[in-house]
Amino acid sequence: MTADVPVTRDTGKPQALWYTEPGRCGLETVSLNEMQTGEVLVETLFSGISRGTEGLVFRGDVPSSEWQRMRAPHQEGDFPFPVKYGYANVGRVIAGDPDLNGCLVFSLFPHQSVFTLPSMSCVPVPQGVSAERAVLAANMETALNALWDGKPSPGDHICVVGGGVVGLLTAYVAGRLPGSKVTVVDTNPDRAEVAIGLGLEFALPEDAPANQDLVFHTSATSAGLATALACAGDGTSIVELSWYGAHAVTAPLGADFHCRRLKLVSSQVGTIPIDRQARWTYRRRLETALGLLADPALDRLITHKVAFADLPDRLPDLLNKASDVLAALVVYDGTNQAVI
């Protein structure tokens, strides 16, 4: 049976955002497959823009060697273009699995107004987590994975270089460790208010703390990586979360790097750390990430809202590296949300 699809305001049919060529995107009408047993029909309320990764996709900067590994779970099309890309969707189940009907769910689905997918690919949003804040779940997964890779301990002095969404979420979770002291380092002084609001300390690069027990780097810049190395205490790990795409990065691995026994550790959300793979599933990690979003203080990470219909016009500015955007929330029809 064909799914009974609610109409959208503009075309009467579901629409999705497609990245079509470097620096260009557009909304396209999509056809839904017949809903199968075990699937649900979801009407999107909000989706989140992952500025780092989607910026690389938008600019065509995903290296050809990573085209397969960088595929999103529900991506359509192939890199470099055209692709339907994204992985932070919050919607309401309106048909299908009776156990989920009416539920607010998060899924790793792109920017699309209505869609079908297997019910097991939807994770119910827990009580106490707003639909808007739930779009941060994919970024929180990245932060959680980074903490697993870094292995912080209570009482540690921890530095996070890069005050974007992933950096701030990483710092926020690290800051919940008893006795920890967590400092966010960023070139933008406006990030201080956000960091302090999350119970963290803040410093500009020239004032970054030294002799840290653990350092995370999320700025995706060579200068940020140099700062992260300088912050690290002897024998410390620097966990590298930044993904640079096709761009080369310089790292100051001369001078005292070797004699201080520093360790550069890569972290990537696409896989669960090896020492947890026997016990942790991707679903368990996503459920945990959603639960970590219960704190209303995290609402300060959502700095911009844009109507889905306006997304093609607004996206270039939202993805501009020089933008002051933290998290941008895409608002769909029927949510009665003001956009800014």
Please say whether the beta carbons of 216 and 241 come within 8 A. Answer: yes
Domain spans of the chain, in order of start: 15-136+295-331, 139-275
H/E element holding 146?
helix 137-150
For residue range 205-241, what is the model confidence (pLDDT) as tens digits? 999 999 999 999 999 999 999 999 999 999 999 999 9
DSSP 206: G
Q: Residue 235 CB: number of other CB atoms within 10 A?
A: 10
> Does 82 sit behind a cis peptide bond, omega within 30 degrees of 0 on the bond before it?
yes
The one-letter code for the residue type at 137 is A
Return the higher-pLDDT residue of 7 and 45: 45
Rounded distance between C-alpha atoms, residue 251 and residue 225, angstroms: 7
Question: Tens digit of pLDDT for each residue in 4-13?
Answer: 444 433 335 8
Q: Is 155 left (phi over 0), alpha (psi -120 to 50) or beta?
A: left
Distance CA 52, CA 45 (A): 22
* pTM for this predicted structure: 0.94
Which CATH code of 3.90.180.10, 2.70.98.20, 3.40.50.300, 1.20.1280.50 fits the domain covering 15-136+295-331? 3.90.180.10
Q: What's the CATH number of domain 139-275, 3.40.640.10, 3.40.50.720, 3.10.580.10, 3.30.230.70? A: 3.40.50.720
Q: Where does the pLDDT of residue 63 fall: very low under 50, low under 70, confident under 90, or very high at 90 and above?
A: very high
pLDDT at 274 exceeding the cut of 70: yes
Residue 47 carries which DSSP code?
A: E
The answer to whether 15-136+295-331 and 139-275 have equal CATH topology is no
Condensed to tens digits (0 to 9), the pLDDT of residues 108-148 reads 999 999 999 999 999 999 999 999 999 999 999 999 999 99
Q: Which residues are CB-contacts of 241 (< 8 A; sequence separation ≥ 6)?
A: 142, 146, 162, 166, 167, 170, 216, 217, 218, 267
Q: Residues of 294-310 as b/e, b for ≥16 C-beta within 10 angstroms?
A: eeeebeebbbbbbbbbe
Phi-psi region of 239 (alpha: psi -120 to 50; beta: other; left: phi over 0): beta
Coil, strand, or helix at residue 149?
Answer: helix
